[in-house]
Structure 1
């Protein structure tokens, strides 16, 4: 177990969209030896994600949108099916996910349940993600969703049976980690 971690130097490599830092730090190894290392960390802020579910219909609400990193990494059209999510933008996680849900899916929800929080890529990204679930019904639909026009999100809203969503994990149509975690949560906890 390492101890006595001390940041020696932080350089900003990019501050274009989010912040990419080069950090030099030292720590003490279990045998007492000091070691200095340099790593890069991408700081994009923290986020929240949610899976909307309907018990009566046995359905969930998902989104589909273009994700450049997936395109770069071989996803032919760059489109990714995922759960609604967004950055906190100085909101608390619950307020953030309510706002994002309405913007992206068109559903105005009031009752959300936090189920856990997780680091999604702790080897390089500082973000912690807050996970929520909420029940939805047709009468909660207040607009078409799709994201904020000025942000060019171009989000397609999908309503799918939970059985189909689980099959989409198996057949590779859903490859997003947060979405897989949320879908497995509702199945493992017999919510749907």
Structure 2
């Protein structure tokens, strides 16, 4: 895995932002991703300035994709081990997710085409970007670009499973959309990006039948 490309260079962060002044930036870790401690002054809504210090984790931006077959009403998801989830109480650490990955210097569409083939084995024909979102803005800089793409069974051109040299061991799962939505309610699907994409598709399907 290559190192993340920061979304915005530190020197440019406060340019044009009159309500915030960067005072100091300390590099705490540059091991896997980048952890910084930032001291800054923030002008409150009452006009007073307050000095604060926060840590921010920079892992680069990413893209996520939900493969959806509207004719059969199915979606393609993955299951893989996630250490942070395991450390926070997920019994086996295995999360069911939509495929996703870091941009690694690519544009979002190129990224998600690459990740889809690596993780699921499916060739992505016409991805459609639906929204962008900051996933954990209190501590992580990452912004995700969300895509939907229709697929058919013959679009699976590889086995998928991820890259062994990156420590990936990914199970590919195809299930009915209704089952995936029930998995959200029942706790079987707890990954944020996946819940957002599944609910987006469900809403679109609901509006299409009105």
Which of 162, 167, 181 matches 2:182? 167
Distance apart, 1:110 and its partner CA: 2.5
Residue 71 of structure 2 is aligned to residue 94 of structure 1: no
Conserved? CA contact 2:121–2:158, under 8 Å: yes
Conserved? CA contact 1:3–1:27, under 8 Å: no
CA distance in structure 2 between the partners assigned to 1:50 and 1:139 by the alignment: 18
Distance apart, 1:152 and its partner CA: 1.5
Distance apart, 1:3 and its partner CA: 4.9
Which of 48, 51, 67 matches 1:33? 48
Aligned to 1:57: 72
Residue 146 of structure 2 is aligned to residue 131 of structure 1: yes
CA distance in structure 2 between the partners assigned to 1:189 and 1:3 by the alignment: 39
RMSD, aligned CA: 1.4
> Which 4+ runs in 1 deviate beyond 4 A?
none
Aligned to 1:7: 22
CA deviation map 1:4-52 (0-9, x unaligned): 2011111111111100110000122233322110000000000000000
Conserved? CA contact 2:125–2:151, under 8 Å: no
CA distance in structure 2 between the partners assigned to 1:176 and 1:120 by the alignment: 11
CA distance in structure 2 between the partners assigned to 1:32 and 1:137 by the alignment: 57
TM-score, L = length of structure 1:
0.96
CA deviation map 1:120-141 (0-9, x unaligned): 1000000000000000111111
Paired residue total = 191
CA deviation map 1:136-176 (0-9, x unaligned): 11111111100012111100000000111011001100000
TM-score, L = length of structure 2:
0.88
Structure (1/2) with the larger strand percentage: 1
Q: Secondary structure at the match of 1:97?
A: helix
Q: Secondary structure at the match of 2:197?
A: helix
**What stretches of structure 2 of length at least 5 have no aligned partner?**
1-16
